[in-house]
Structure 1
Amino acid sequence: MSAAPVQVEFLYGIKPGRFDANDDWQPESVVAFRITKKTPKRIYYDAELYGRGPRIRFVDRHRLETDGEITRRGQWWEPDLRLHTEPPQTFPPQWDLELPRLKAEMAAAHPDRGGTDAEFIAARARYKNARTKETSA
């Protein structure tokens, strides 16, 4: 007799976008958290972060199942700050991809790095224009 496979369930969070050590933009991504236990009031999940070992956390089951998502108390950078029952779709804004590239071009065109004044002024104008579009959106 073979036992029926156990269905593993997950909660989903979003790891926020960030700049890495090389100033390269890492876009936001969806993270799955394994559900370890369900009780009538709570859902427990494994929120292991960055290889620090298991960290069991819980959320209110009724609110999560009613709304499809829940926000818990925590820090803004924690991927499990807002949890979803289904994988959320992430749509990075256009400036997430554009601004880091324009900033790098501006730095490369700086006169101290071998560029000319005209190149730097033009690159800075493109960068400022993109930032202005981002803040008005």
Structure 2
Amino acid sequence: MTITPDVREHLYGIQAGSYDGNDNWRPAQLVAFRIIKKTPRRIYYDANTGTERSPRIRYVSREAIESDGEVTRRNGQWWEPDVELYAKPPQTWPPQPDLDLAGLKAEMAAAHPDRGGSAAAFVAARAAYEKARENRR
């Protein structure tokens, strides 16, 4: 007799960071939602994050999440962790801190050859600054 493991599929969402009752910051966290059923048009999942006793069944378009890898629920609220769902955990998790453009600009200026830096260091600092500027847009 062969026993196969119970393979569970999940959709992934991000619970926004928030303050608790004691003014302590709880950072954003990744939440996995168990897929309950797949039909040709929809994927049903349990949106219960552990705060409710019974499951909270919701669904998303199967075509949208399988083609794009993510989907935004039309009737979702911004604070719900399943307002944006991902087929796989996001590649940029945990979220990267915003780069300080002023700091990168100062590093670029300090690496300039006219200020005692080298050409290679300046080119690298400028590339980092330009990449941060593009990512901010």
Give the equivalent residue in structure 2 for 1:25. 25
2:56 matched to 1:55?
Answer: yes
**CA deviation map 1:7-56 (0-9, x unaligned):** 11000000000011111111100000000000111000011141242011
Gaps of 5+ in 2: 99-135
- Give the TM-score normalised by the residue count of structure 1: 0.64
1:51 maps to a residue whose letter is: E
Moved more, 22-31 or 46-55: 46-55
* Aligned counterparts of 2:37 and 2:67: Cα–Cα separation in 1: 18
For residues 57 and 94 of structure 2, the distance between their equivalents in structure 1, rounded to whole angstroms, comes to 26
Structure 1 or 2: more helix by fraction = 1
The question of 1:6 aligning with 2:3 is answered no
Count residues in correspondence.
96
Aligned to 2:88: 86
Identity of aligned residues (%): 55
State the TM-score, normalizing by the size of structure 2.
0.64
RMSD: 1.9
Amino acid at match of 1:60: S
Q: Which has the higher contact order (CA 8 A, sep 6+)?
A: 1
